[in-house]
């Protein structure tokens, strides 16, 4: 990622600011990132930083908006290319895992925003992402049930929550162990267990 925002057009410099936040989040605790740290990493003054974003909250909203757009695009691409609902579900799962592996700072930013009291634009972007994600998963589950590929005995809302919860659990385990690579390592076994629970003829959720 780019780490210097000098001498760039405004739109490109805003993109570099977002990239810098993602890099800093991958290196440490996202809640401890300050505008001074962002500016220092980019070789800018805080005044220059605030010419592109009026506040730290605006920077965080831009980061969350970027993460939501990028993840949603990858999930859409993965699901659309899959030949069956089960293939689509697996493709979405591992597209999400791949996104986390590539941008390990995003989950910490996401969890931090959801834990903040009150509302904020960044928190709203996180909530919208989860709503859209859930709707995508429920559509895949309904399609799979209609095709006889998934068991008809489980509730699609509960299954969608569990699907996302598995990924979040893998991330939390990686935080606790201090090994962010464990998300990718443990993902195949976790998905295999989930798959067994939803497939027709399996142990329904």
Please write the tens of the pLDDT for every residue from 29-60.
Answer: 888 999 999 999 999 999 999 999 999 999 99
Query: Within 10 Å of residue 176's Cβ, how many Cβ atoms?
Result: 9
Residue entry with tokens 């979040």: 168
68-95: per-residue pLDDT in tens? 999 999 999 999 999 999 999 999 999 9
CATH superfamily, with its number, for domain 56-198: Tetracycline Repressor, domain 2 (1.10.357.10)
In sequence order, what DSSP letters do the residues of 152-179 get, joined into one string? SSS-HHHHHHHHHHHHHHHHHHHHHHT-
CB atoms within 10 A of CB 57: 13
Buried b (16+ CB within 10 A) or exposed e, 179-205: ebebbeebbeebbeebeebbeeeeebb
Residue extents of the structural domains in the chain: 1-54, 56-198
Q: What is the pTM of this model?
A: 0.88
- Give me the CATH code for the 1-54 domain, please: 1.10.10
- Helix 106-115 to helix 121-146 angle (10° resolution) is 110
CATH topology identical between 1-54 and 56-198? no
């Amino acid at each position: 990622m780019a780490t210097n925002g000098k001498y760039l057009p405004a739109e490109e410099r805003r993109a570099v600011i977002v990239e810098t936040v993602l890099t800093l989040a991958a290196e440490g605790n996202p809640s401890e990132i300050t505008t001074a740290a962002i500016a220092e990493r980019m070789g800018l003054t805080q005044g220059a930083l605030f010419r592109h974003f009026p506040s730290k909250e605006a920077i965080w909203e831009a980061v969350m908006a970027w993460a939501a757009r990028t993840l949603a695009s990858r999930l859409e691409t993965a699901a659309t290319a899959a030949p069956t609902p089960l293939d689509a579900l697996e493709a979405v799962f591992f597209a999400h895992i791949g996104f986390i592996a590539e941008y390990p700072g995003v989950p910490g930013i996401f969890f931090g925003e959801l834990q903040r009291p009150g509302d904020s634009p960044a928190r709203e972007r996180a909530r919208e992402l989860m709503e859209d994600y859930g709707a995508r998963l429920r559509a895949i589950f309904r399609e799979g049930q209609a095709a006889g590929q998934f068991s008809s005995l489980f509730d699609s809302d509960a299954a969608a929550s569990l699907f996302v919860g598995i990924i979040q659990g893998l991330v939390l385990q990686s935080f606790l162990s201090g090994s962010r690579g464990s998300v990718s390592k443990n993902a195949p076994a976790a998905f295999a267990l989930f798959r067994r629970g939803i497939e027709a003829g399996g142990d329904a959720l």
